[in-house]
Amino acid sequence: MKLSLTRFSGQSTSTLGLLFVDNSFECFTLEDEERVVKIKGETRIPEGTYQVKKREVLSGLTKKYRDRFDFFDYHFMLQDVPGFEYVYIHIGNDETNTDGCLLVGDGVKSNRFDQKNNLQSSTSAFQRLYKRMSAALDITIEIKNGRY
């Protein structure tokens, strides 16, 4: 399975993107903002291609998701991201939920006037994407910046 993320809106606190699965649009994404010097939990990941695998560790977040979803076992995590650890794909609506991770949603509110980006319908997008990813044997994600 090939995931492709193209960023289309970079604001002062967050970045919006489009996520494609095998060249078909799947959902929107939200990440932290771009920074020249990385700040832990406040910086989007670098452009590049990464393997995505389940992190089979029972963390607090994993337990929370297991309690909430009967289909969930472990979080999908991007592998070998330079300068980053534990980059998950998960539920969230704004930059306060990312901590350097990729959030997914079926809708987006992009407001260039107040610099506030938000995802909508994050849970439904996550459930659908997670189930598709769980059926795949090999997953990569290519992340690139669009023009904005």
pLDDT tens readout for residues 49-95 = 999 999 999 888 899 999 999 999 999 999 999 999 999 999 999 88
At residue 115, the pLDDT reads 60
- Going from the C-alpha of 89 to that of each of 49, 98, 111, 113, 147, the distances in angstroms are 15, 9, 23, 28, 23
DSSP for 100-139?
T-EEEESEEEEETTTTEEEEESHHHHHHHHHHHHHT-S-E
More confident residue, 116 or 48: 48
Q: What is the mean pLDDT of residues 30-51?
A: 91
Residue 146 has pLDDT above 90, yes or no: no
For 127, phi then psi, to 5°, come to -55, -50
Domain membership of residue 129 as a residue range: 2-145
Q: What's the number of domains the chain is made of?
A: 1
